[in-house]
Structure 1
C-alpha cells in the first residue's frame, strides 16, 4: 500500500495537505485535512481507463469559495433540524439557523470548514483525522472529540469509521458528503446511472426540506429502487415530492443486514459499480440538483445531476420524530459507526 502527501493550497495562511492511499490494483483514495474531505477516488473502468469517480477540485481554494460539501465530513448533525431548536435533558437548546429558518449540516462553519489533525503514524492503508468541536460551537453543547478513520483495502473497499465522545449531552449524526459520478466525466451527469436500495420506505419532505415525520412505502412511486432503476426516473417523474426537489433529496430507510449490501450504484457505460454497507438506518440520496454552473471542475461548468451523494446516517431531524431513531450522545457513551463502499467493474 502506497501513501503520499502533497500541498493542496492554504486557508487563512495555514497550509492544507492532501493525503493519498494507493493499493496494489492502482485504486487511489485522496483526502485533505481541511474538512477531512475526500478530494478524489480513482479507479479503472471496464476497459482499464483510470479516472476520478467523485466530484472534487484540484486545490482547496474552490472548496472555501463555494462550500459545495464535495467529499466533506458533515457534522455535528447531517441534514436539517427544524428551527434549530432541540430539547436536551429538559432544556431547550437553540442551534445556529443557517438555511431559512432551519439548521443545516451543523451550521456555518462546521466540520467541512475546519482543520482536522492527521495521525501521521496511522497504520498502513489508513488515514485518521481528529477534530475537537468546542462546547457551544454553532449552539451545540459539550466538547465533542470526533475521530474519522478512512481505510483503503486490497479488496478495493473504502471504509469510514466514526468515533466520538462528549462531556455534555449533545447531538451527533455525521455523514460523508461525497458525490459519485462513475463515468469519470461530470459533464455526462448521473441520470443514466442505475441505483438499487434495500429500502421499502422513504421520508417525504415539507417545502423547506424538513421531513414530515411520516414514512411512506416506495411501491408504485419513483422512490422504488428495490430493483436496479435509472436515476432519471425521479427527475422525469411528475410525483409532487420529486417535482418540488428537482429530483431526489430524500432519506430512504434501509433494511439492516451485516453481510448484505444496503445498495448499489452502477454506470452501464463504464461498467463501474459501487456496493455499500452500513450500520446506519438510512441513506439520503441527492443528485446535486440545485447547482447552477457557478464554478468549474477541470475547466467545465458543474451542472445539475453531475453527481450522486449516498449519505449514510440516521434519519434527518430525528430529534423531533421519535420513530426516526436516536441521535443523542451522552457523556457516558461512545459513538461508533461504520460505512463501507466497495468498488468493482462489471
Structure 2
C-alpha cells in the first residue's frame, strides 16, 4: 500500500492510492475529484474504468461534473427554491429555472483540505471543507468531510460526514462516470446492470420529479434481475425518451438487499458491486454528455460512462413520501458507499 502525492496546477494536489493488488485510485483536492481508477480485467490487464480529463486544468470548468463530489444537494431542486419551517430559500438557477448539483459554487469546485493516511491494509485521503451560512443561498454553516479509502480487497470506500449549525438541506454524492470496458474502449451500451429497486421516480420534460413513484415491473426500468443499458437507450418508453434516450432517474433501493447495485462488462470480465446506506441512487447513462471533450482515453461521446449517484432525493423538498434531504442542526450526517471491483467467475 502506498500514496503518491503530486503538486499540479495552482495549489491543486493529486493523490494516487495504490494497494497490493496494483489497483490504484487518483484523486484531486480540487472538488475531491476521482480522476482515474485502475483495476484488472479477467486477464489481469490493468486499465482505467472512469472518465477523466487528459489535462487536469480542464477540471476547473467540468460542466459534466466528471468524478466530483456533489453538494450541498446532489440532483435538481425544482424552481431553485425550498422552504424550511416557513422560510423560503432561493438558490442559483443554473439549469433553466432549476438548481443543479449545488450550483456553480458547489462542492465540485472548491479546494478541499486533504489529509492522507495509511494503515496496515488500507490507504486513503480525508477531505474537509467548511461551507458557510448563506453560501449558494443555503442556510447553515456545514462542516463537510469526505474520506476515500482503498482496501486490499479492491474496494473503494467513500464516507460522507457533515454537521450543520442550523436546519438545512444536504445530500452528498460522487459523480464518477464508470466504463468497465477499460480505457474507454467501448461505450456502456452492453454493460449489464442489476439494481435492487422496485420503484423509480417519474420525471417531467425538464427532468424534475413529478411526485409520482412508478413500479418498474414490465418496464425498461426493471433491473432486479439484470439488463443491458442498451434496453433503455433504444426504448420507446416516455421516461427513457425525455431523459435523452437513456436513464437519468432516481431508483428507490430495497433496504433489505445489501448489495444494491452490480455492473458487469462481459468482454473485459470486470464486475463492480456497489453497497450503500443511502436510500436510493440516480443512474445516469451520459445521454447528454458533452461530445468532443479531450479525455485521458480519447474524445468524449454520449454513453461513454455511467454514473451511480447514491443519495437522498431532492424531490422530498416539494413532495411527500420521498427520502429526505433535510438535515437538522447538530445532527451528524454520515453516509457510506462502497465500490468493489472484481471479475466474473469463469
Is the 8 Å Cα contact of residues 78 and 98 (structure 2) preserved in structure 1?
yes
Does residue 249 (structure 1) correspond to residue 248 (structure 2)? The answer is yes
| Shift of residue 189, structure 1, vs aligned partner | 0.7
Structure 1 partner of 2:270:
272
Equivalent pairs, count: 341
Structure 2 partner of 1:71:
67
The 5 A counterparts of 1:140-159 are 140-159=138-157
Runs of 5+ unmatched residues, structure 1? none
SS in 1 for 2:240: helix
TM-score by length of 1: 0.95
Structure 2 partner of 1:5:
5
Is the 8 Å Cα contact of residues 191 and 232 (structure 1) preserved in structure 2?
yes
Runs of 5+ unmatched residues, structure 2? none
Which residue, out of 280, 283, 287, partners 2:281?
A: 283
SS in 2 for 1:48: coil
Is the 8 Å Cα contact of residues 122 and 128 (structure 1) preserved in structure 2?
no
The 5 A counterparts of 1:17-36 are 17-36=13-32
Distance in 1 (alpha carbons) for counterparts of 2:330 and 2:39: 42
Structure 1 partner of 2:168:
170
Is the 8 Å Cα contact of residues 75 and 110 (structure 1) preserved in structure 2?
yes
Structure 2 partner of 1:43:
39
Structure 1 partner of 2:219:
221
Is the 8 Å Cα contact of residues 52 and 296 (structure 2) preserved in structure 1?
no
TM-score by length of 2: 0.95
SS in 2 for 1:119: strand
Structure 2 partner of 1:209:
207
Distance in 1 (alpha carbons) for counterparts of 2:26 and 2:109: 17
| Shift of residue 288, structure 1, vs aligned partner | 1.1
Bigger shift: 65-74 or 200-209?
A: 65-74
| Shift of residue 321, structure 1, vs aligned partner | 1.6
What CA deviation, in whole Å up to 9, does each residue of 1:51-108 have, x standing for no partner?
0100012442111234321110000000001011111122111111111001110111
RMSD: 1.4
| Shift of residue 232, structure 1, vs aligned partner | 0.3
| Shift of residue 9, structure 1, vs aligned partner | 2.1
Structure 2 partner of 1:184:
182
Distance in 2 (alpha carbons) for counterparts of 1:115 and 1:209: 30
Distance in 1 (alpha carbons) for counterparts of 2:161 and 2:313: 18
SS in 2 for 1:215: strand
